[in-house]
């Protein structure tokens, strides 16, 4: 299968209360690529937080004024170095600054993570089904750093209608031998792929991925399938 | 920009000494999508290891017979639990089992990581330039697990002619504010995107990515740009 990834241009600045599903559906519908059953929309966290009002005011003259909010939003601090705080959030994500960030947000404000990004994805999906009669997958993505590897990449923090993890255990490799441990986090791979066309600076907040394996189109959840149980975790 | 990702079908079983660059170039040339300047080829580690003879014999009746090789190949053991060994390799990668694996490899053999995957990528790139006069980016990818998140994803372990990390610091976000920390590991995002069309089970070992930002096409190195210095690392 060939995959095509389109940046979705023309999404206006998002304010609290905006019906993201209807808006994204309309913008895609008007784009030359349109929107069809089985497309996967990757929506960056920032516009989800803005639509849901997951924003806080900060002192725009103090570059560290969001740090007390980081401490409040985190359920656990894993590491600190200088201004860098690696946190576990209430959702179970391990990321810098409890996922709070200031880029592409109006001065004097910071965006928090959505309360429940799986639910946010589900709402967008349901709304597109309701208004356009189309069944699409939706991923809410955010930008996380990684231990051991420099540079950030986008990962999925919520999903609906698209598998978070595809379990290939029990399938056979090209030599007819059963694959041992191959649970692939396709939601993170889709989020990463989408970031290649969204970019950080351009402010394109949505990408459309066409050509995804139809077997992956199912109900799913990042919190249930991807967030690792701290008890199973070797690095916390 | 729109990105298109093609699986490259028709790569035969690779044996030691095969000239991968010429082979991949020819297979792409014969495919309906062809090969053009600026394409990025993502080549899975397994066929690079096979072509370079980075293979060892193991006892096919003992499912743990590769474990002594893991201990030999690792420069550091970070964690152990049961059969799982999280290692640091001589290349600086942190991954399970020193990157050694048995899937898509003939019975009785295990594949090691290539000696120097940046060099492997460079050879493929140079060979395609030499035989076809085309300038393409090349990424060697492998499948790694992550702490805190379930499911594996593909990452870049070598690259040539394509940026490993794109530094957006100093560029402005959509609000005209300077982005603070935004070094994006586009090589990992490209590897992840490619895995969506290669799959683990199908044994499609190469993907072609077309439409990559031309500004990203430059000399680079995963070891120099992505592998985090242990002294800077908070989780080792």
CATH of the domain at B77: 3.90.1660.10
* C-alpha distance from A129 to closest chain B C-alpha (Å): 25
The minimal CB distance from A179 to the residues B4, B189, B200 is found for B200
Q: Which of A84, A192, A207, A222 to mutate to test the interface with B (most CBs of B within 10 A)?
A: A192
Do residues A157 and A55 touch, judged by C-beta distance below 8 A? no
Residue A95 has pLDDT above 80, yes or no: yes
Tell me whether residue A157 is in a domain. Answer: yes
In a domain, A234, yes or no: no
> In chain B, which residue's Cα lies nearest the Cα of A95?
B148
B178 touches chain A (CB under 8 A): no
- Contact criterion met (CB < 8 Å) for B149 and A226: yes
Query: Which of B80, B113, B146 is a domain's end point?
Result: B113
Residue indicated by tokens 């899975």:
B44
Distance (Å) from the alpha carbon of B124 to chain A's nearest alpha carbon: 23
Q: Over range A56-75, report the average pLDDT.
A: 88
Radius of gyration of chain B (CA): 18
CA distance B113 to B48: 9
Minimal Cα distance from B147: which residue of A? Answer: A235
Residue B149 lies in a domain: yes
Do residues A34 and A64 share a domain?
no
Selected for mutation to probe chain A from B159, B189, B232 (highest A CB count within 10 Å) is: B189
| Closest residue to A152, CB basis, from B4, B185, B190 | B185
Whether residue A71 lies inside any domain: the answer is yes
In terms of domains, do B48 and B65 share one?
no
Classify each residue of B83-118 as buried b or exposed e, where b means 16 or more C-beta atoms within 10 Å of its C-beta: eebbbbbebbbbbbbbbbbbbbbeeeebbbbbebbb
Instruction: Give the 3-state secondary structure of residue B138.
Output: strand
Nearest CA distance, A152 vs chain B (angstrom): 5
Can you tell me which residue has the tokens 């697990």?
B145
Residue A200, pLDDT above cutoff 80: no
Pairs across A and B, CB distance < 8 A: 226
Does A233 lie at the interface with B, CB-CB under 8 angstroms? yes
More confident residue, A193 or B229: A193
Are A43 and A156 within one domain?
yes
The structural domain count of chain A equals 2
The whole-chain average pLDDT of chain A stands at 92
Residues B198 and B119 in one domain: yes
In this predicted structure, the answer to whether residue A39 has a pLDDT above a threshold of 90 is yes
Q: Which of B113, B133, B162 is the last residue of a domain?
A: B113
Mean pLDDT by 10 residues, chain B (236 residues): 95 96 97 97 97 93 85 93 91 94 84 97 98 98 95 97 88 66 92 91 88 96 95 85
Kindly list the residues from chain B whose CB atom is less than 8 angstroms away from the CB atom of residue A146. Answer: 146
pLDDT tens digits, A107-124: 889 999 999 999 999 999
Tell me if A69 is assigned to some domain.
yes
Q: Does A118 touch chain B (CB under 8 A)?
A: no
Give the A window 120-149 contacts with B, CB below 8 Å: 143, 146-149
Residues A86 and A196 occupy one common structural domain: no
CA distance A1 to chain B (A): 6
Together in a domain, A63 and A160: no
The answer to whether residue B232 sits within a structural domain is: no
Task: Establish if B189 touches chain A: CB-CB under 8 angstroms.
Answer: yes
* Shared-domain flag, residues A75 and A155: no
What percent of chain A has a predicted confidence (pLDDT) above 90? 77
Q: Which of A81, A203, A212 sits opposite B174 (nearest CB)?
A: A203
Residue A74 and residue A47 share a domain: no
Closest by CA to A158, choosing from A2, A39, A45, is A45
Residue in chain A closest to B63 (alpha carbons) equals: A180
Question: Do B74 and B138 fall into the same domain?
Answer: no
Contact (CB, 8 A) for B9 and B46: no
Q: Encode pLDDT of A159-179 as tens digits.
A: 999 999 998 776 666 666 665
Does residue B122 sit in the same domain as residue B100? no
Which of A197, A189, A202 lies closest to A163, judged by CA? A189
What pTM value is reported for the model?
A: 0.95
Q: Tell me the residue range of the domain where A94 lies.
A: 55-113
| B150 interface with A at CB cutoff 8 Å | yes
CATH code, domain carrying B43:
3.30.1330.100
């Amino acid at each position: 299968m060939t995959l095509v990834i389109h940046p979705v241009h023309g999404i206006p600045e998002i304010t609290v209360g905006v019906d993201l599903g209807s808006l994204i559906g309309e913008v895609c519908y008007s784009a030359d690529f349109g929107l069809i059953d089985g497309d996967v929309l990757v929506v960056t966290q920032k516009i989800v937080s803005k639509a849901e009002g997951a924003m806080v005011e900060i002192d725009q003259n103090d570059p560290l004024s969001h740090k007390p909010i980081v401490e409040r939003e985190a359920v656990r601090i894993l590491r600190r170095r200088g201004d860098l705080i690696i946190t576990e959030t209430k959702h179970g994500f391990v990321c810098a600054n409890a996922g709070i960030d200031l880029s592409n947000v109006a001065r004097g404000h910071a965006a928090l993570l959505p309360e429940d990004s799986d639910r946010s994805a589900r709402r967008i999906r349901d709304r597109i089904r309701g208004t356009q009669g189309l069944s699409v997958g939706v991923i809410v993505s955010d930008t996380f750093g990684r231990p051991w590897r420099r540079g950030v990449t986008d990962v999925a923090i919520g999903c609906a209608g698209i598998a978070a993890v595809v379990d290939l255990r029990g399938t056979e490799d090209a030599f007819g031998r059963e694959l041992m441990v191959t649970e692939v986090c396709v939601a993170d791979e889709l989020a990463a792929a989408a970031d290649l066309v969204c970019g950080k600076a351009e402010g394109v907040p949505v990408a459309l991925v066409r050509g995804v394996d139809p077997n992956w189109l199912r109900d799913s959840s990042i919190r249930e399938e991807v967030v690792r149980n701290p008890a199973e975790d070797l690095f916390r």
